[in-house]
Homo-oligomer: A and B are copies of this chain.
């Protein structure tokens, strides 16, 4: 049955279609025309809701940040109450998300196409970051810039996520293969 001229909720349908296509076929599997086709509209329909493909990608990235935040919070909520345990759990959530959502993770962190001018995206990224920042707060020394601890933890977990991803792609020979993040994290000092 053909979709009537007015879809009714096309913006949302395009975002959902985009996330499905990313999950199924990676970055190159997501195109405007495929999103439009999956949403049941013509190839030019998205132009009314997104200025360009970059606009749609930014909206998808915002959604991705929300899922990312949820994954970290879910891990944190399952962990023991100790500050160090909670921080490690959040990092594990970070790495789980990166492993299970490689293309979305790429879009969020490595994509020059998305722009943080988008308020949804800016809000979502800020919220995600706050989870990590709050978990770092107990480790901040008196009169110390809290961003120092935050940057250290964030660099470590983000770097580990990136290298693990490269290790997964390149087979067993990659140096990061077999190294557990918990071991790297345990010797972290502040």
Contact = CB atoms under 8 A, between A and B. Distances in A.
Interface string A153-190: 01111111111001001110001101100011001111
Judged by DSSP, the binding face of A is helix
Given A106-B110, A162-B109, A151 B175 contact: yes
A98 B176 CA distance: 20
Nearest to A188: B189
A49 interface: no
Contacts of A109: 162, 166
A77 to B, nearest CB: 23
B112 A183 contact: no
A145 B152 CA distance: 23
Nearest to A106: B110
Contacts of A150: 175
Interface of A: 26-28, 106, 109-110, 112, 116, 129, 133, 145, 147-148, 150-152, 154-163, 166, 169-171, 175-176, 178-179, 183-184, 187-190
